[in-house]
């Protein structure tokens, strides 16, 4: 599985979103990680499908849309229409994950499931044959710039074994930096989300340094 760097827009300057997202693209990010928060599933609010559609026009990177919302079934279609490529839903949301996965597929996108740090990783097992990616949160969702939770490493290793030879990506989100990245990669992750570390200073140099760990 080719390693992917999915840059999180959460750390961009929202007053200059177009400028920052174009800079991330020019700097060599592989995907754009779009953090959607509803103020209910997590104690923070970000953007909705209309805003995603707005910046879809000027960014060609695949959109990796992380739905931190309580009722994804109500919004999947709109995020798909807004230009998502892959949509991930939390197993802890209020809707049935399989129904979400099926709807994401009907909308023409790839589907993934996400687990918060306290959810046993075994909970993804029933969905592994139906999805393109598992996302494991290595911080409690809601905010950028948090510290990597050490116990995540073991969880990544377990998920890697569970995935086996299925064509399923293993994405890690939260607290990725120059110290934690080698550990995360060694544990088996192939898809790396990073916001605060990549947006700090020179994005191209940061991405280049990350790639040297692959």
Catalytic residues: 35, 173
Nearest residue to the partner ligand DX5, using Cβ: 196
Mark the segment that binds ligand DX5 (CB under 6 A) among 7-15, 19-27, 77-85, 103-111: 7-15
Mark the segment that binds ligand DX5 (CB under 6 A) among 73-81, 92-100, 190-198, 201-209: 190-198
Told to check if 90 binds ligand DX5 by CB under 6 A, we report: no
**Long-range CB contacts (within 8 A, 24+) of 174-179:** 174/137, 174/138, 174/139, 174/141, 174/146, 174/148, 174/149, 175/138, 175/139, 175/146, 175/147, 175/148, 175/149, 176/138, 176/148, 177/148, 178/209, 178/210
Told to check if 35 binds ligand DX5 by CB under 6 A, we report: yes
178 - beta bridge partners?
none
Q: Are 100 and 110 in contact (CB under 8 A)?
A: no
Query: Interaction with ligand DX5 in 141-180: which residues (CB under 6 A)?
Result: 141-146, 173-176
Positions that interact with ligand DX5 (CB under 6 A): 8, 10-11, 33, 35, 66, 139, 141-146, 173-176, 193-197
């Amino acid at each position: 599985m080719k390693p992917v760097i999915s840059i999180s827009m959460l750390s961009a300057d929202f007053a200059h979103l177009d400028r920052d997202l174009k800079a991330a693209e020019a700097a060599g990010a592989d995907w754009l990680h779009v953090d959607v928060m509803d103020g209910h599933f997590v104690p923070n609010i970000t953007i909705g499908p209309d805003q995603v559609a707005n910046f879809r026009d000027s960014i060609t990177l695949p959109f990796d849309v992380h739905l931190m919302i309580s009722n994804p079934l109500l919004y999947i279609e709109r995020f798909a229409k807004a230009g998502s490529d892959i949509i991930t839903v939390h197993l802890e949301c209020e809707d049935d994950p399989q129904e979400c996965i099926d709807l994401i597929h009907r909308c023409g996108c790839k589907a993934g499931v996400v687990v918060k740090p306290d959810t046993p990783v075994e909970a993804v097992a029933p969905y592994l044959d139906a999805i393109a990616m598992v996302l494991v949160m290595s911080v409690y969702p809601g905010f950028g710039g948090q510290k990597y939770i050490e116990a995540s490493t073991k969880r990544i290793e377990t998920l890697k074994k569970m995935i086996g030879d299925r064509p399923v990506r293993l994405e890690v989100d939260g607290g990725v930096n120059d110290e934690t990245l080698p550990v995360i990669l060694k544990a088996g992750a192939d898809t790396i989300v990073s916001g605060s570390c990549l947006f700090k200073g020179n994005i191209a140099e940061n991405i280049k340094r990350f790639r040297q760990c692959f």
